[in-house]
A and B are shown apart, each in its own frame.
Chain A
Amino acid sequence: EIVMTQSPATLSVSPGERATLSCRASQSAGTNLAWYKQKPGQAPRLLIYGASTRATGIPARFSGSGSGTEFTLTISSLQSEDFAVYYCQQYNYWPPLTFGGGTKVEVK
C-alpha cells in the first residue's frame, strides 16, 4: 500500500497570498496523483489530476507539480472560497486507492 503524507496539517494564509501544500508518497506514484478540495458540509471536488492537469472549470490560480514521491499544490493568490481542506490521492498502485490526511487552509 502506498501511504500518502500531507504537510502541513494546517496552513494559515492571508487572502491574496500564495499557499504551497505538500504531499509525499511512501513509494513512487509516478504522475498518478490527484488533488481535491473540500469545504465543510460539502463533497470533495477534483482540482488536479495527472499531478499537474487542472480539472474542468478549475481556475488557473491552482497549479500542481511533482512526480515520483514528492508533489505540490500551489494556490497563487488565495480567494475567500479557497479556504478549505485539500487532499491528495494516488492511483498509481492499487488497490487500495489512498488519500493523504489532508491540509486545512485557514485564514491568517
Chain B
Amino acid sequence: EVQLLESGGGLVQPGGSLRLSCAASEFTFSNYAMSWVRQAPGKGLEWVSAIGGSGDGTYYADSVKGRFTISRDNSKNTLYVQMSSLRAEDTAVYYCAKLGRTSWYFDLWGRGTLVTVSS
C-alpha cells in the first residue's frame, strides 16, 4: 500500500529541538518532491517546507526559516525535518505529504505526528 508514516513527535520545551521522520512505502520516493504541512489545534493547514526529489532545492515558510531544516535520504525512503528554537506557536500536528509529479499539490498525506511545545 502506498503510504507515508510520520514519527518523532512529542513534548518539547520552548527553545528545544526535535527531529521528525516520515517513512515512505510503495512508490519511487526519489521521483517526487516532498513536504511538511502543519495544523495547529483547531486551526487550518499551514505549509512548512518542501524539498525536491533529489534533495536539490529546499523551500521554507517564513515562519520557520532559519529554525527548521528539511532533508531526505532516498536510500532509506525517508523524509526528515530538524526543528530547533521551538516556540509555543510551533505546536501542531505535522503532516508529511507527497507532491504531485509535475505540480505542487499534495496527493498523498501521512496520518501526522503531534508536536507540543510547552514548559
Contacts and interface: CB of A to CB of B under 8 A. Distances in A.
Chief secondary structure at chain B's binding surface: strand
A48 B61 CA distance: 24
Contact of A46 (B46, B62, B105): B105
Contact of B103 (A38, A50, A102): A50
Q: Interface residue tally of chain A, by bracket?
A: 20 to 34
Chief secondary structure at chain A's binding surface: loop
Interface stretch (B8-16, B78-86, B106-114): B106-114
A20 interface: no
Interface of B: 35, 44-47, 50, 59-62, 95, 100, 103-112
Interface of A: 32, 34, 36, 38, 42-46, 49-50, 55, 87, 89, 91, 94-102
